[in-house]
Chains A and B, each alone.
Chain A
Amino acid sequence: MIYADNAATTRISDSVFEKMLPFLREQYGNASSQYSLGVKAKRAVEHARRQVAVAIGANASEITFTSGGSEANSWVIRSVAETYRGKPMHIITSEIEHHSVLNACRALEQTDIEVTYLPVNATGVVEVTSLKEVIRPHTKLVSIMLANNEIGTVQPVEEIGQLLKSKGILFHTDAVQAVGHVPVNVSRLGVDFLTASAHKFNGAKGTGILYKRSGIDLSPLVFGGKQEYGLRAGTENVAGIVSAGYAIEESISLMADEAKRLRKMVEDTVDGIKEKIPSVRVNGDSIYRLPGTVNLGFDGVSGEALMNLLDLKGICVSTSSACTSGKDEPSHVLLALGLSEQQAKSAIRISYGRYNTSDEVGKVISAVYDAYSKILGTR
């Protein structure tokens, strides 16, 4: 099998797995317990918090662990809205955010909160000038992702951060696709909230990260005990949190070499496919994008069919369109780039990660070409 869907999830690193394993077996204590077993679990959680903080240039006290990126995204948006309850409030986000952001915003629109969904340019970049134009006196929060999950485009978050700081507007970035893959520093980015997820950088599933700048209030997500500063009660997922700490540390130590290697693999893949299928289109930005992710459009061919045929040949890629009923829905991200519904439905995403090797590139190119030809051969 060739797994080329690392933007969906990643295989856990062997060394990270070894680090988390004791906390599922002999070190299974509850981090809130007062005896040695519990204290050791608590120490492990706090060590992971420091690892994460160092990795993104934050203080440990600014890190809260969640169950994943979606929870963290929803929490930030709902909490900020709650802070301003009863007052005029306007939120700005982009049309290409993850559904955990978009649907949280849509839910708030039902409560008289105004939301502006910023368009993006043809390569999926939010233009700062467009953002400036839609800021209102009662804009309280801007949520713009650091890197897009479908096309890999990296947004000018640092520039946006500078703009918003000068206006006193809270800034959240969904960095789920970026953390562990490109350098992330919360001070440099100028963000107040940043969210990430361990399974996107070779950690375990079930652990998310929320960075909240010191001094900013956040209402509790779960009431109960005092875990996670009383903001998210409930027994900590110690093993998952430990995985997050070691996985982020490891990803950062490998980042420079990995980025170079993955970028080359993506370039070779695109070049190889273009040679065989000249009409293939790269959706997204060719410069400002994640090293391992590329979205390709094959006009006239169904992306879903391509994905399914590749799966039957042992290659995992993804398609942005969602289909469970025989009518596939085009990706909101690709439509926002200005693609037609048909073009949006013709796309697949290839996302390489740490465990992909350069000799897989040729196999992917051949398999994509074979699948494409098979589909066209029936017309």
Chain B
Amino acid sequence: MTKRVDCYICGKENLTRNEIGLNKKLIGQDVKKFHCLQCLADYLELSVDELEERIQEFKDAGCSLFE
């Protein structure tokens, strides 16, 4: 069973596989504190659209961290 991961900033529950994958790609594989997409965008001073586009690029590159 997959371990439940919540956003440590806003508390959003059950982050999606894409959100978890993006945290690993942008913060590191060993990331302990996960952000939801919105909080990650705020933290990195980027837009959610930019992050979603990046998720698509990771998928296109064949990264299996994403769904």
- A305 on the B face (CB < 8 A): yes
Report yes or no: B54 in contact with A312, Cβ–Cβ below 8 A.
yes
Report the bound CA distance from A302 to B28 in whole Å: 5
For chain B, which range describes its interface: under 10, 10 to 19, 20 to 34, or 35 or more residues? Answer: 20 to 34
Q: Which residue of B lies closest to A309 (CB)?
A: B26
CB of B65 to closest CB in A, whole Å = 4
Most buried by A among B26, B29, B33, B61: B26
Residues in A with CB closer than 8 Å to B24 are 326
Report yes or no: A374 in contact with B44, Cβ–Cβ below 8 A.
yes
A302-B29 CB under 8 A given contacts A312-B46, A312-B54, A374-B43: yes
Report yes or no: A326 in contact with B29, Cβ–Cβ below 8 A.
yes
- A222 on the B face (CB < 8 A): no
Chain B, 42-67, CB within 8 A of any chain A CB: 43-44, 46, 50-51, 54, 61-65
CB of B66 to closest CB in A, whole Å = 9
Report yes or no: A304 in contact with B25, Cβ–Cβ below 8 A.
yes
A312-B50 CB under 8 A given contacts A326-B65, A374-B43: yes
Residues in A with CB closer than 8 Å to B64 are 324-326
A378-B31 CB under 8 A given contacts A308-B25, A312-B44, A326-B24: yes
Total chain A interface residues with beta-carbon distance under 8 A: 19
Report the bound CA distance from A324 to B25 in whole Å: 11
Residues in A with CB closer than 8 Å to B28 are 301-302, 304-305, 375
| Mask: chain A, 270-302; 1 = CB below 8 Å from B; 0 = not | 000000000000000000000000000000011
CB of B39 to closest CB in A, whole Å = 11
CB of B15 to closest CB in A, whole Å = 14
Residues in B with CB closer than 8 Å to A325 are 63-65
CB of B45 to closest CB in A, whole Å = 9
Beyond A312-B50, A324-B63, A378-B35: 18 further Cβ-contacts under 8 Å?
Answer: A302-B27, A302-B28, A302-B29, A302-B30, A304-B29, A309-B26, A312-B26, A312-B51, A324-B62, A326-B21, A326-B63, A326-B64, A327-B29, A374-B43, A375-B28, A378-B31, A378-B43, A379-B33
Q: Which residues of B contact A (CB under 8 A)?
A: 21, 24-33, 35, 43-44, 46, 50-51, 54, 61-65
> Can you list the 10 inter-chain pairs with the closest CB atoms, starting with the nearest?
A302-B28, A326-B65, A305-B28, A325-B64, A324-B62, A308-B25, A308-B26, A378-B33, A378-B27, A375-B27
